[in-house]
């Protein structure tokens, strides 16, 4: 039918992620506990910010390594770093913009995990923006429209990188939270926000382009951000992590992520050591 294998695989994984989000409760950030099998040496636990490229990585890992348990908790970027600090996670997925430096991730890693030997593996750059109904029925043109009384917003949870980004931009624009209808309504994933808009529960939300695409929504691109995987150096060097890292650095993974939409994989797999 003229589709490439990468296009087919990307569409399949997008639909699977949306199906899971519609039918399963997301893991909550508060009260999160390490879920492990009896054999803790044969399991991986990821905590952090929701991302569709990460969903794809986990799906591919499960397909190719059925003997290894892998679980993901959507606790937000800050929740992921704190879980690493408290040794309740093996890996954290983060995208945190530092207000003072304008740099992603590294300032937070330095503050929350000082003195730790870490590996930071770049997953992808991605596009964040406003998601709204197809054809943009409310004619939304930017963040300033969130003040409008005829618009209901749906927010991400505190501690998520998207919430950190939104609050920073609102402060810079002089927009106060109480001016935004729906600011206190929180969801844990990009897909849950996109589905809320798709089902008419809200008019607009901040999220990634891939989530908007998966739900057939309109999208206004606003920001380019960096999503990284953070892990202790000993995990990065372990045999247990080798299959996961092998997928991240593969051409197949990059090609499929590019087909998902809203991602740039030019530096995917690039690793920096810290500490």
Dist CA 27 CA 17 (whole Å): 14
Residue 82's domain spans which residues? 1-275
Mean pLDDT across the chain: 89
Q: What is the rounded end-to-end Cα distance, in angstroms, of the chain?
A: 51
249 contacts 52 by C-beta, under 8 angstroms: no
Q: State the CATH number of the domain containing residue 8.
A: 3.40.190.290
Number of domains making up the chain: 1
Dist CA 86 CA 137 (whole Å): 45
Summarised one tens digit per residue, pLDDT across range 103-127 is: 999 999 999 999 999 999 999 999 9
Q: How confident is the model at residue 25 (pLDDT cuts 50, 70, 90)?
A: very low
Mean pLDDT of 185-210: 96
- Its pTM stands at 0.85
Summarised one tens digit per residue, pLDDT across range 218-267 is: 999 999 999 999 999 999 999 999 999 999 999 999 999 999 989 999 99
Residue 35: its pLDDT value, please? 45
Residue 3: its pLDDT value, please? 54
Backbone angles phi, psi at 77, to 5 degrees: -65, -45
Does residue 149 sit in helix, strand or coil? coil
* List of long-range contacts for 252-256, beta carbons under 8 Å, 24+ apart: 252/6, 253/56, 253/57, 253/60, 255/6, 256/6, 256/9, 256/10, 256/13, 256/56
Backbone angles phi, psi at 165, to 5 degrees: -65, -45
> Taking 80 as the threshold, does the pLDDT of residue 31 lie above it?
no
Radius of gyration of the chain (CA): 18
Residue 151: its pLDDT value, please? 98
Count Cβ atoms below 10 Å from residue 248 Cβ, excluding itself: 23
Residue 42: its pLDDT value, please? 87
Mean pLDDT of 151-175: 96
């Amino acid at each position: 039918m003229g589709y490439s294998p990468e296009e087919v695989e990307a569409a399949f994984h997008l639909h699977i992620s949306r199906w899971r989000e519609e039918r399963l409760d997301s893991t909550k950030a508060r009260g999160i506990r390490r879920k492990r099998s009896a054999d803790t040496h044969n399991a991986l636990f990821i905590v952090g910010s929701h991302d569709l490229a990460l969903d794809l990585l986990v799906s591919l890992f499960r397909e190719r390594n059925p003997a290894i348990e892998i679980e993901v908790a959507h606790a937000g970027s800050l929740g992921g770093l704190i879980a690493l600090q408290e040794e309740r996670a093996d890996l954290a997925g983060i995208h945190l913009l530092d207000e003072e430096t304008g740099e992603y991730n590294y300032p937070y890693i330095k503050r929350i995990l000082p003195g730790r030997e870490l590996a930071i593996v770049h997953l992808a750059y991605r596009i964040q923006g406003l998601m709204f109904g197809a054809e943009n029925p409310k004619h939304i043109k930017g963040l300033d429209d969130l003040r409008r009384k005829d618009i209901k917003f749906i927010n991400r949870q505190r501690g998520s990188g998207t919430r950190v980004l939104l609050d920073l931009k609102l402060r810079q624009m002089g927009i106060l939270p109480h001016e935004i209808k729906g600011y206190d309504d929180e969801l844990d994933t990009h897909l849950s926000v996109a589905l809320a808009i798709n089902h008419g529960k809200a008019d607009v939300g901040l999220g990634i382009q891939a989530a908007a695409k998966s739900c057939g929504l309109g999208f206004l691109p606003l920001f380019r951000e960096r999503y990284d995987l953070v892990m202790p150096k000993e995990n990065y060097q372990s045999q247990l992590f080798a299959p996961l890292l092998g997928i991240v650095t593969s051409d197949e993974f990059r090609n499929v992520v590019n087909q998902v939409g809203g991602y740039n994989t030019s530096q995917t797999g690039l690793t920096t050591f810290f500490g």
